[in-house]
């Protein structure tokens, strides 16, 4: 490895450590907006039981999301964003 590239790599590791410690702000941050679960479900023209089965979650979890008691996290949040933007992708991938 060239010395210049090595130096860049070690500097980025130092910066990452400072960002993690909170002594250096991150240069960018990715935030995925909370999806409107109720609106997404209505786009699919499904009731809560059908939509929760489609997503592989309990009806209770879906209700909590729709009523704002809880928010989708991690992979569920991403799946809902895909369901919102590309509804056919979800339906096609799950059809047999």
* Separation of alpha carbons 47 and 59, rounded Å: 10
**Domain ranges for the chain:** 1-27, 37-94
3-state secondary structure of 7: helix
pLDDT of residue 96: 64
Write out the CATH class of domain 37-94.
mainly alpha
Per-residue pLDDT band at 1 (split at 50, 70, 90) = low
Q: What is the mean pLDDT of residues 75-79?
A: 92
Q: What percent of the chain is modeled with pLDDT above 70?
A: 98
* Separation of alpha carbons 37 and 83, rounded Å: 10
Q: Higher confidence at residue 66 or residue 26?
A: 66
Contact 83, 40 (CB under 8 A): yes
pLDDT of residue 84: 94
Angle between the N-to-C axes of helices 74-85 and 87-94, in degrees from 0 to 180, rounded to the nearest 10: 110
Per-residue pLDDT band at 35 (split at 50, 70, 90) = very high
* Separation of alpha carbons 53 and 38, rounded Å: 15
pLDDT of residue 27: 87
């Amino acid at each position: 490895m060239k010395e210049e590239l090595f130096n860049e790599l070690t500097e980025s590791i130092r910066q990452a450590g400072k960002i993690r410690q909170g002594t250096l702000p991150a240069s960018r941050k990715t935030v995925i907006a909370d999806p409107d679960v109720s609106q997404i479900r209505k786009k699919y023209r499904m009731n809560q039981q059908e939509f929760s089965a489609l997503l592989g979650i309990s009806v209770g979890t879906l209700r909590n999301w729709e009523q704002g008691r809880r928010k989708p996290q991690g992979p569920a949040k991403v799946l809902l964003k895909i369901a919102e933007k590309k509804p056919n992708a979800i339906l096609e991938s799950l059809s047999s």
